[in-house]
Amino acid sequence: MTETTAVGDATHRYLQALRDRPSRPIDWSAAPPTYQRYPTEGRIVLPWRSSEPTGRLLRDLLGLTRAYWVHPTDQAGQPTVGPPEVRLGRPAPSGGALYPIEAYLATAGPTAGLYHYDAAHHCLDQVRPGDHRAALTGLLAQRPVRLPELLLVLSAVFWRNGFKYGDFAYRLHCQETGVLTAQALALAEALDRALTVHLRFAQRKTEGLLGLDGVGEGALAILALAPPHNRHDTPSELPSYTDLLARPAAQAVPQPTPVSKLLPHLTALHRAAGKPTGTPATVRSPARPPQVRQPPVSLPKPQPRQLSEGVAHRASPPNGFLPAHTHLVTLATVLAAATAGYPGDLPGTHRTPATVTPYLLIRRVAGIPPGAYWYDAGTHALFRTGDADAPGLVARGPLQPNTRPALGECAAVLIPAGDPLAGVDAFGDRWYRVQQIEAGLLMHRATLAATAHGLTARIHSDGTNDTTDAALGLAGTRQRSLSFLTLGKPRPGCLRDAGSATA
Ligand SMILES: Cc1cc2nc3c(=O)[nH]c(=O)nc-3n(C[C@H](O)[C@H](O)[C@H](O)COP(=O)(O)O)c2cc1C
């Protein structure tokens, strides 16, 4: 594979490859191991139940927190013959439950080092000893004011789900990174700790420090946990990037499969995203939709809860929703939570996600006629962009067998949209990732808020297509639907706890 030269080439080719993607049978025998393992010398076993922030954060991000029975169904959710199975689930959703995202930690203190989180055993395996916090912080485009207590690098093992989804897997890697970022922000808030989100960092140097080749596994985002308010530790001399790089890093066993030949467009895009770019002062915000039909629908005041209240009970509904109406205030609360600002390194994220804007298909929300809408986070109002048949039009589009019934029964669908090329000038080929991460963040915040208010939600990636874009009023614009989150009332027994009664 030759190195792409012009900025944006890899993004254009990747988008084209997804459009031309043939449907092909899945070779399940090509699936790599589910869990990333490192040599166990220097292992730190984390307590399963503890309020200690590192263990708690990792457990509720990537730990094996759920065991559940699965009764066999067909693609449309109808029961089929076969024995039920017990499966292990993790706290946050993952496309096809394949969990391609890994976490590496730079920690402080007497056991300071760079560690890999072994999700299967809830422990930390040392990649390299030594305090990596200063070296890693030095790779961030926007450095936190205080040296972080902990830095968390989220990486993707590309083949983990690439064997199933092909080049499309990169979109899932990026969205799942956004999902985990939203989950980490919610967990940090519950721990009363500040977490900052870094999407602009020196990717190749970060991968070098972690001992990753960027071809089997690549770094996608860095999260920095600030020390508690009352702690002012000013460490004297921490090892530099060059000092640390001179020491060997432990390698995963087995090494992740290199995908340059298997997934050429994914590889090219990830590599191109690693090229340094300037410092964008602004992001061209997602445009207001052209065909807004007035007047706007002002939404009621949200009734916020901590998003972490949704963590324990979240699960993607396996077989659609109870076809019942949802209160308008619940939708208003979900939308406000999804679009709230966050401490990120893109210009404007303190107000709202910078690269995506939410659209909705409304089916069953008391007080709002069914149709397509754009949500304006600034005015907390809905603007109609498509008529009552918009959800029906989407249902007639190319959908997977489980999406159509879910669409028929849900209360609403949240659809983050954005221009996949708008930021290439400013961000280079990193733009694709940044935007998909924000799409994942927006959807998961909506999911957590919905769960905290007694609803349930499922992502249906196939819902993003030309038919959906047309139904939302995006045809002829540069904006595209980026994902598709169905929201609605859970069927009895769907959640492990009934949640609240406000829905
Ligand atoms: C980025 C992303 C894409 C997903 N796409 C789909 C999809 O296209 N269809 C679907 O039924 N579920 C989809 N899911 C949901 C996963 O299948 C689900 O999270 C996984 O099976 C684990 O189950 P859980 O969410 O109950 O923990 C997606 C999840 C994520 C995070």
Q: Are 495 and 316 in contact (CB under 8 A)?
A: no
> What does the pLDDT read at residue 498?
37
Please tell me the distance from the alpha carbon of residue 442 to that of residue 340, in angstroms, as a whole number. 9
61-70, 219-228, 323-332, 393-402: least confident range: 61-70
Which residues share a beta bridge with 274? none
Q: Are 397 and 461 in contact (CB under 8 A)?
A: no
> What does the pLDDT read at residue 119?
96
Number of domains in the chain: 2
How many whole angstroms from 279 Cα to the centroid of ligand 1?
Answer: 34
Site to probe by mutation for ligand 1, drawn from 459, 464, 486 as the one with most ligand atoms within 8 Å of Cβ, is: 459
If asked whether residues 254 and 341 sit together in one domain, one would say no
If asked whether residues 148 and 210 sit together in one domain, one would say yes
The token duo for 77 is 């959710």
Q: What single DSSP character describes residue 420?
A: T
Say how many CA atoms lie within 13 Å of 251 toward its Cβ: 9
Give tens-digit pLDDT for 84-140.
888 888 999 999 999 999 999 999 999 999 999 999 999 999 999 999 999 999 999
Those residues with Cβ within 8 angstroms of residue 207's Cβ, 6 or more apart along the chain or in another chain = 155, 213, 214, 218, 219, 274
Those residues with Cβ within 8 angstroms of residue 73's Cβ, 6 or more apart along the chain or in another chain = 79, 80, 318, 319
If asked whether residues 188 and 308 sit together in one domain, one would say no
The token duo for 421 is 């090329």
Q: What is the mean pLDDT of residues 43-64?
A: 92
Q: Are 356 and 175 in contact (CB under 8 A)?
A: no
Q: What single DSSP character describes residue 28?
A: G
Site to probe by mutation for ligand 1, drawn from 23, 69, 94 as the one with most ligand atoms within 8 Å of Cβ, is: 94
Residue 154 sits at the vertex; the CA angle it makes with 146 and 174, to the nearest 5 degrees, is: 120
Nearest-CA residue for ligand 1 atom 16 is 95
Contacts by residues 266-269 (CB-CB < 8 Å, ≥ 24 positions apart): 266/14, 266/158, 266/162, 266/167, 266/169, 266/170, 267/1, 267/158, 267/215, 268/1, 268/4, 268/10, 268/13, 268/14, 269/10, 269/11, 269/13, 269/14, 269/170, 269/429, 269/432
> What does the pLDDT read at residue 24?
87
Domain end, chosen from 225, 244, 273, is at: 273
> What does the pLDDT read at residue 66?
87
Q: Is 50 exceeded by the pLDDT of residue 503?
A: no
Q: In what order do the strands lie in the sheet with 101-106?
A: 44-45, 123-129, 113-118, 101-106, 150-157, 217-225, 195-198
Give tens-digit pLDDT for 268-318.
999 999 997 766 767 766 666 766 666 899 999 999 999 999 999 999 998
Give tens-digit pLDDT for 395-443.
999 999 999 999 999 999 999 999 999 999 999 999 999 999 999 999 9
Q: Could you tell me the pLDDT band of residue 12, with boundaries at 50, 70 and 90? A: very high
Give tens-digit pLDDT for 136-171.
999 999 999 999 999 999 999 999 999 999 999 999
List the domain range (segments joined by +) for residue 370.
293-488
Does residue 38 fall inside a structural domain? yes
- The CATH number that applies at residue 50 is 3.40.109.10
Those residues with Cβ within 8 angstroms of residue 366's Cβ, 6 or more apart along the chain or in another chain = 325, 326, 327, 328
Does residue 90 fall inside a structural domain? no
Q: Is 90 exceeded by the pLDDT of residue 195?
A: yes
Q: Could you tell me the pLDDT band of residue 76, with boundaries at 50, 70 and 90? A: low
Pocket of ligand 1 (CB under 6 A): 89, 93-97, 172, 175-176, 179, 315-316, 402, 458-462
If asked whether residues 206 and 327 sit together in one domain, one would say no
If asked whether residues 137 and 218 sit together in one domain, one would say yes
Site to probe by mutation for ligand 1, drawn from 460, 481, 485, 495 as the one with most ligand atoms within 8 Å of Cβ, is: 460
> What does the pLDDT read at residue 192?
92
